[in-house]
Structure 1
Amino acid sequence: MFALAQRVILAESWRRRLIAFGGGAFGALALAPVGFLPAFFVPMTLAVWLIDGSGAESFWSGLRRAAGAGWWLGFGYFVAGLWWLGAAFLAEADRFAWALPLGVLGLPAVLAVFTALGFVFAWLLWSAGPARVFALAAGLSAAEWLRGFVLSGFPWNDFGMVLGGNLVLAQTASIWGLSGLTILSVLIFSSPALLAGEGRKTVPIAALALLAGVALFGSLRLWASPGEVRGVKIRIVQPNVPLEDFRADRRDHLLDHYISLSDRATSPQTSGVGDVTHLFWPESSFPFILSRDGAALSLLAARLQNAVLFTGAARAEGEGRKTQYFNAVQVIFGGEVKESYDKRHLVPFGEYLPFTGLLARLGISQFVAIPGGFNSGQSSRFLTAPGLPPVLPMVCYESIFPYEIADRISSAPLRPGVMLNVTNDGWFGITSGPYQHFAQSRLRTIEQGLPMIRAANTGISAILDPYGRTVAMAPLGVEAVVDGGLPKALPSTLFSKYPYVAPFILWIFVLVGAFIRPRRI
């Protein structure tokens, strides 16, 4: 171990960069769908040794070396974890294939800047001895927190998802959320680096004990059963519609496809839509404005009987050139759109184009073929429907932002009883992307103590209980329906009540730990 550490510490030039990049890429194996947790020991252990090797004759030289090592490690991690983004650029290759390198390499290069900042922060606190892992945990967790907010935020594959992707180990998120899991992940998985010191085993042993404690907490918490809301029979439709079928000339075909699936007999207990109380269709189900199509609404009223429909749908306001479009979730029954929620956190370059004037002149457009792109919704309202508790809607990747969801809940007069995530991950095919999206959405249930209904065009669709357990699920890439009851919500979790307090206290703890110096005898 000592010899390996010395090689990393003394590595220079391309060898140092290759070690950092390779270590970061290997660490991505800890994420969904592989979920090989021991892989994360590699980048975090290397991180300690790379910062050890960043000491230089001058302050600025050392800072540059630490930042460079952090950038290359982050670049490797994000390239390996986000390679599947390339599938979106090939879905309409004639329009977007040219930009594939920008997604597969450009975005990871930008995200790696935050890892570099985390290394710099840690390097500024650096010292010999066990305090190094506390400095690394303080630096990287602060950088990951920033990544969730800066430039609209993109906390995808936050380091905390190493623990957050494992159902048992994720349960402490009910206390301190994803940010707390990030601190624990860095602290635990970087501790083996200390074994290369002068026989220092106390912190690595303590880290393993901490991991065991997290696992014990999770195991005990998962013994509980929340029960079900009486009288609610849910059906989720996973239509598995190819992207090329979302065209106006396929209107009738799509409607028939959705309605036929909704009325499919799945068991003696659920023979069709007549046995369903609440029906859920995925994001942007229609290539037309449903609320302005009276014939379609009448057809839904006739064919869906008494079921209340929650569906993703584009919504329009205004007329002509002043028309504004929104990516919405709508509640439909009795042939009418009763309520709508407009997506607030839009995907840059996917649903709208930043710096529209400049980029449009360069011939660059957003993925969604709507003039001017979608507009951002202004209301954070919950949706209501007969027979259901208040519903917190999330469209697509809104489900990966823990603090936005926590703020919506804490600012509301009533606590919701269920979360709804509608999405269309068909852009990414059968890749790691939809699995990672599902894992991050599932973590929101644990943080908030709320069940989730997840309707995805190509999967993964599921009913999740407030502990993140799967009640019913349809796998990725198949046409399916998911039937089940609605689990009851838990009382507000500590994170739900105080989303910023517990992770901040934990961060202060590791920050203080970074200043602990070994006793001299």
Structure 2
Amino acid sequence: MRIAALADSVILAWGWRKWLIALVAGACGALALPPLDLWPLLVVPMTMAVWLIDGAVGTSRAARFRAAAVVGWWWGFGFFLAGFWWLGAAFLVEADKFAWAMPLGVVALPAGLAIFPALAFGCSRLAWPAGAGRILVLAVVLSLSEWLRGHVLTGFPWNVYGMMLAGQFQIAQFASIAGLYGLTLVAIAIGAAPATLGTAETRAGRWRAPATAALVLIGLVGFGLWRVPAAPVPLVAGVKLRLMQPNLPQDAKFNPRNGEAILNNYLALSDRATSPSTPGVQAVTHLIWPESAFPFLLGRTPQALSRIATLLPPGTTLITGAARAGEALPGESRPPIFNSIQVVDDEGSIVSSYDKVHLVPFGEYLPAVFDRLIRSLGLSEFVAIPGGFAAGTRRLPLTIRGLPPAAPLICYEVIFPGAVAPQGPRAGFLLNLTNDGWFGQTSGPYQHFAQARLRAIEEGLPLVRVANTGISAVTDGYGRVIASLPLGNEGVLDAGLPRGGPATLYAQFGDLIYAVLLAGFLLLSRLLPRG
């Protein structure tokens, strides 16, 4: 049987050949991620992972752990290398300052992240049963390693393996029950199920796991079809949003010399007619601009606020990203600067703000353990803020006239499952302002939007997303895209605001359901026949 021969060749491979197989298998997994979303290819990395662990042999438990961990590192390195290549674009925005460090983002980061699957492969090998049970063991341990990746050292849950299935709209609805990590658990098990086709001793043993995986897939699709209503979600009465996507080059966006030209562009673009019934900003209730819209402090630039007030008709509100200066503490020479969302009324007054809580390490601030060393070399974070941004203290709902309470999320804050809802009463929608201009026309912005869309499904809340270069969009609480602007386009997007639905199971219980599934998978792994 050809599959059996392939399995044997992987299991018996040794040395660099085994590492190369692991590297290529992991890299294939990135093809299942946005923008390609070739989700059937998740079978390649997950099935190969089973066979690679099968072949991790040794004369002691420690030797078997090491053998599996090494091959797991190569597998993870391939996945993250192929999934994060686009990070290199950020280092070329100011190439004279940061191009030298490109290998740190493109190679060193994947190498560090690969430690998580390395540990997962090693720990799986220590509990490795015969038969189909090992598929469930891998799903449990590998998904747990992804949960850890999303939490350790402030967390980095980008391209979690469950995103291989999240591009399939109906299947993604399972996240409303178990979240991204529950979807990850199921994705790994489904992808690894064909491993028994090449290793089981009996015909029943070969087909039991793949057939079960197919039934689970059908069940997930059926649940998605049942959950999502055929009719559109009703809109919030009296709300007409205008999303402004300026598509500014990143190297121009943060240059203070461009401040006036940028504001002029924003004002002109925001007042663009989009249809006979929408001649300009006069026809909208809320105008929304992207993250870090200006290369100056909006709250300390009254001329800019005055021009914004002139643009806004009575009753219209501007929601914009902006840097905000706090109060300097005693003994400090400069005030803290926050990456914020600010709400400006039609009189040019800033009426409310939200300060970003979860900053991007090395992008917006330098972690304390590296700060002194990196600054001693004359280097800095990417943002042009001396000392980097300061972090906000709490994630609270943002009050905006005429809108339900908003869950404000700046840039990559939206990638953290279970952490997007603010404290207090349930929000009415997710508001994500971002600037993906750092990454150009690459996979990064598509991956970012896909994760934001999955948060809408998890929470059962509509998403309003405004990005400098795209993808700007409005989705309902089922993740259906109501309106969008493509990556790399300048324009404005007019849309209503879908109503939020009732709290999903995931919104109510978080990762508790994922934990229950983990326990069920572990129990089942011990009960399955070994043939």
The alignment's TM-score, normalised by the length of structure 2, stands at 0.96
Q: Distance in 1 between matches of 2:167 and 2:121?
A: 24
Q: Are the equivalent residues in 1 in contact too, given 2:434–2:467 (CA < 8 A)?
A: yes
Of 317, 322, 327 in structure 2, the residue corresponding to residue 313 of structure 1 is 322
Q: Are the equivalent residues in 1 in contact too, given 2:432–2:464 (CA < 8 A)?
A: yes
Is 2:355 aligned against 1:348?
Answer: no
Q: Counterpart in 2 of 1:397?
A: 412
Give the alignment of 1:140-289 within 5 angstroms: 140-196=142-198, 197-198=200-201, 199=203, 200=205, 201-224=207-230, 225-246=232-253, 247-289=255-297
Q: Are the equivalent residues in 2 in contact too, given 1:24–1:76 (CA < 8 A)?
A: yes
Q: How far does the alpha carbon of each residue in 1:125-157 deviate from its partner, in whole angstroms, 9 at most, with x for none?
A: 201111010000011010000000001100100
CA RMSD of aligned residues (A): 1.2
Q: Distance in 2 between matches of 1:403 and 1:202?
A: 34
Shift of residue 518, structure 1, vs aligned partner = 2.1
* Partner secondary structure for residue 330 of structure 1: strand
Q: Distance in 2 between matches of 1:157 and 1:345?
A: 18
Q: Distance in 2 between matches of 1:498 and 1:124?
A: 31
Q: Are the equivalent residues in 2 in contact too, given 1:259–1:304 (CA < 8 A)?
A: no
Q: Distance in 1 between matches of 2:45 and 2:77?
A: 12
Q: Distance in 1 between matches of 2:36 and 2:484?
A: 19
Kindly provide the amino acid, as one letter, of the partner of residue 458 in structure 1: T
Give the alignment of 1:78-157 within 5 angstroms: 78-157=80-159
Shift of residue 516, structure 1, vs aligned partner = 2.5
Of 305, 310, 313 in structure 2, the residue corresponding to residue 302 of structure 1 is 310
Q: Distance in 2 between matches of 1:288 and 1:219?
A: 48
Runs of 4+ in 1 over 3 A off after TM superposition: none
Kindly provide the amino acid, as one letter, of the partner of residue 516 in structure 2: I
Of 478, 498, 503 in structure 2, the residue corresponding to residue 467 of structure 1 is 478
Q: Are the equivalent residues in 1 in contact too, given 2:289–2:466 (CA < 8 A)?
A: yes
Q: Are the equivalent residues in 2 in contact too, given 1:125–1:515 (CA < 8 A)?
A: no
Q: Are the equivalent residues in 2 in contact too, given 1:159–1:182 (CA < 8 A)?
A: yes
Q: Are the equivalent residues in 2 in contact too, given 1:314–1:326 (CA < 8 A)?
A: yes
Q: How far does the alpha carbon of each residue in 1:383-429 deviate from its partner, in whole angstroms, 9 at most, with x for none?
A: 112210000100000000012224x3xx41x1110110000000000
Shift of residue 500, structure 1, vs aligned partner = 2.1
| Structure 2 residue ranges without an equivalent (≥5) | none
* Partner secondary structure for residue 507 of structure 1: helix
Q: Are the equivalent residues in 2 in contact too, given 1:20–1:69 (CA < 8 A)?
A: yes
Q: Distance in 2 between matches of 1:262 and 1:341?
A: 22
* Partner secondary structure for residue 101 of structure 1: helix
Q: How far does the alpha carbon of each residue in 1:429-485 deviate from its partner, in whole angstroms, 9 at most, with x for none?
A: 000000000000000000000001100000000011110011000000010111110
Q: Distance in 2 between matches of 1:116 and 1:156?
A: 18
* Partner secondary structure for residue 298 of structure 1: helix
Q: Counterpart in 1 of 2:514?
A: 503
Larger deviation: 360-369 or 93-102? Answer: 360-369
Q: How far does the alpha carbon of each residue in 1:146-178 deviate from its partner, in whole angstroms, 9 at most, with x for none?
A: 000001100100001011122221001000100
Q: Distance in 2 between matches of 1:502 and 1:378?
A: 29
Q: Distance in 2 between matches of 1:265 and 1:244?
A: 28
Q: Counterpart in 2 of 1:359?
A: 374
Q: Are the equivalent residues in 2 in contact too, given 1:422–1:455 (CA < 8 A)?
A: yes
* Structure 1 residues 206 and 300: alpha-carbon distance in aligned structure 2, compared to 1, 3 A threshold: same
Q: Counterpart in 1 of 2:426?
A: 415
Q: Distance in 2 between matches of 1:207 and 1:20?
A: 23
Of 448, 452, 456 in structure 2, the residue corresponding to residue 437 of structure 1 is 448
Q: Distance in 2 between matches of 1:179 and 1:423?
A: 24
Kindly provide the amino acid, as one letter, of the partner of residue 227 in structure 2: R
* Partner secondary structure for residue 502 of structure 2: coil
Q: Distance in 1 between matches of 2:387 and 2:83?
A: 31
Q: Counterpart in 2 of 1:52?
A: 54
Q: Are the equivalent residues in 1 in contact too, given 2:178–2:513 (CA < 8 A)?
A: yes
Q: Distance in 1 between matches of 2:530 and 2:31?
A: 38
Q: Counterpart in 1 of 2:344?
A: 332
Q: How far does the alpha carbon of each residue in 1:21-60 deviate from its partner, in whole angstroms, 9 at most, with x for none?
A: 0000011100000000111100100000011001221111
Shift of residue 226, structure 1, vs aligned partner = 2.0
Kindly provide the amino acid, as one letter, of the partner of residue 425 in structure 1: D
Q: How far does the alpha carbon of each residue in 1:97-136 deviate from its partner, in whole angstroms, 9 at most, with x for none?
A: 0000110000000111001111122112201111010000
Larger deviation: 104-113 or 510-519? Answer: 510-519
Is 2:18 aligned against 1:10?
Answer: no
Count of residue correspondences: 516
Q: Distance in 2 between matches of 1:358 and 1:105?
A: 21
Q: Are the equivalent residues in 1 in contact too, given 2:65–2:123 (CA < 8 A)?
A: no
Q: Distance in 1 between matches of 2:105 and 2:42?
A: 24
Q: Counterpart in 2 of 1:293?
A: 301
Q: Distance in 2 between matches of 1:233 and 1:338?
A: 20
Q: Counterpart in 1 of 2:388?
A: 373
Kindly provide the amino acid, as one letter, of the partner of residue 228 in structure 2: L
Q: How far does the alpha carbon of each residue in 1:64-84 deviate from its partner, in whole angstroms, 9 at most, with x for none?
A: 111011111000000000000
* Partner secondary structure for residue 466 of structure 1: coil
Shift of residue 202, structure 1, vs aligned partner = 1.0
Q: Are the equivalent residues in 1 in contact too, given 2:64–2:126 (CA < 8 A)?
A: no
Q: How far does the alpha carbon of each residue in 1:275-323 deviate from its partner, in whole angstroms, 9 at most, with x for none?
A: 0001110000000000111111111111122321110000002358231
Larger deviation: 203-212 or 356-365? Answer: 356-365
Q: Are the equivalent residues in 2 in contact too, given 1:28–1:80 (CA < 8 A)?
A: yes
